[in-house]
Amino acid sequence: QIPKPKGMEDVSRHYCRYGIKIKWFKKDLLSMKKPDLIFITSLMTYWYPGIMETIKIIKEIFPHVPVVLGGIYASLCTEHAEKYSGADYVVAERSEDAVLKLAGEHTGYFPAYKFNPHDLDTYPYPAFDLQNKIAYVPLLTSKGCPFSCAYCASCFLDPKRMIRGAKSVVKEIKFWHEKYDVTDFVFYDDALLADSKQHAIPLLEEIIGAGLKVRFHTPNALHIREISKQIASLMFQAGFKTLRLGLETAMFDLRGEMDTKVGNNDFKQAVICLKQAGFNKEQIGAYLLAGLPGQEMDSIEYSIKEVLRQNITPLLAYYSPIPHTKLWSKAVDSSRYDLNLDPVFTNNAIFPCQKENFSWEKISYLKDLARGDRQ
């Protein structure tokens, strides 16, 4: 537990730091040969204090080595990162070109691509083998998303839709399974089932044909409208164990501002298809967005109850305001914090866009309801 950021005094929750101990991090750095250049990635915008702390420690150990920051925070909050992160360079674009250029300028060696940036099938595998134990492997079989949901930055971060071939994906699965005994694989695609005839169906058929004893999970929401009897059956046969559906809300008459990707009949039909294929309640979860600008808490309660009526698991997904999305300006207007001042206020755990009649007790009630404790 660490002190809360200034301005969060109203939040009745602990503010905590996660990760390895600082002394362990310093020990690892001191054991290294002095590098020519240090690259750091970033994830959620509101986690940037961890980036600042990391860079500060690196600068203590290697004061004259340039630090390059990239990733999601650097792309979405570039000006803030340039001003506050402590990095010498901030790479905002999602391109390897800038990274290779910097590497060349600081080492004198200008490396060439060993893969085609426009062909995902040529990309090298992530270096998960550097871990002591590989508990699971994240899979990315596509980039980008054909939808443009108001709350999501996928189209900004990855504007070009790219997909991998089925054989390429199965080859990677076999590599990790056969060489490192990995049995759990997690799909992190933004739109795994989009254009299913060209992508998901051939992929699932290829996985089934390989006959591997592995398990698949989809923490990134599946597009509900794409779930047919065929898709559901193929996922079950392929070994999918955890399914997450992108429902967001069951108030279908009010969801036009967010997206148009699913209707009431689409949701109910998808659940029927999944259950007929063999999936059970514990395996099927539906994400429900909570904390949207102007959202009434009663609408979340209604959505939870609607999911429970379908006998699957409701999962609350707390909304985080994201720059460069359609909802950003509305989020700024709705928030009880100054979102433009500091990305730390976009932390979804504090429900930043709930201003009027906000109650932590109501949030606790909704959590209990989603768990089935208040039926």
pLDDT of residue 375: 54
The distance from CA 170 to its chain's CA centroid, rounded to whole angstroms, is 22
In a domain, 155, yes or no: yes
pLDDT of residue 116: 92
Same domain for 258 and 154: yes
Same domain for 211 and 80: no
pLDDT of residue 148: 86
pLDDT of residue 264: 79
> For residue 45, what is the domain's CATH number?
3.40.50.280
pLDDT of residue 174: 98
The label of the residue with tokens 């940037």 reads: 48
Q: Residue 152 is which amino acid?
A: C
In a domain, 215, yes or no: yes
Residues of the chain predicted below pLDDT 50: none
pLDDT of residue 10: 81
Same domain for 101 and 163: no
Q: Could you tell me the residue range of the domain that residue 195 belongs to?
A: 122-370
pLDDT of residue 219: 95
In a domain, 116, yes or no: no
pLDDT digits (tens, 9 = 90+) for 15-26: 988 889 999 999
pLDDT of residue 178: 97
Same domain for 309 and 182: yes
* pTM: predicted TM-score of the whole model, two decimal places: 0.91
Same domain for 236 and 128: yes
pLDDT of residue 11: 85
pLDDT digits (tens, 9 = 90+) for 206-244: 999 999 999 999 999 999 999 999 999 999 999 999 999
